A = this chain, B = another copy of it.
Amino acid sequence: MPVTTFVPDPSAPQPGQLLARGVCRLLATHDFACLEEFVPERGKRVDVMAVGPKGALWVVECKSSRADFMSDAKWQGYLDWCDRFFWAVDAEFPLDLLPEASGLIIADAYGGEIVRMPDEQKLAGARRAAMTRKFARDAARRLQGVRDPRI
């Protein structure tokens, strides 16, 4: 009888990516357009960036476990890129770990709910314009890459 070894599928979505999918579905119901794994500047990456109908910019960081959260020392930097910042976690997550001033989304791979709406810290106009422009260009280039893979 052959011995088989379990090898994880490298293309399978990670838990944080599944949370991000649910977050994007949720935010679509709030009329926010989302881009996953958005890079606001070189070396920084946010799990979900969302643009609202009037231009509001929200960032959502998706944490699949305590370890995932504890290893992220850079989250306060995310506040520089958005009007509102949220954590998204699943229903098992130890919520008392999370800073109370942040927004909170409870989600799974299929959707979620905004549990706590954070205060708004409005971005300055020039930063907002630069972020919106980068979001626009990144989203369009990713779409073109899907529609016309020769690019």
Q: Which positions in A face B, CB cutoff 8 Å?
A: 21, 24-25, 28, 33-35, 51, 53, 55, 129, 132-133, 135-144, 146, 148, 150-151
Contact = CB atoms under 8 A, between A and B. Distances in A.
B24 A55 contact: no
* Number of identical monomers bound together in the oligomeric complex: 2
Residue among A25, A55, A137, A150 having the largest count of chain B Cβ atoms under 10 Å: A137
A35 B143 contact: yes
A35 B144 CA distance: 8
A88 B3 CA distance: 61
A97 to B, nearest CB: 28
23 contacts: A24-B144, A24-B148, A24-B151, A25-B150, A25-B151, A28-B151, A33-B140, A33-B144, A34-B140, A34-B144, A51-B140, A53-B137, A129-B132, A132-B132, A132-B136, A133-B136, A135-B136, A135-B140, A136-B139, A139-B140, A142-B143, A143-B143, A143-B146
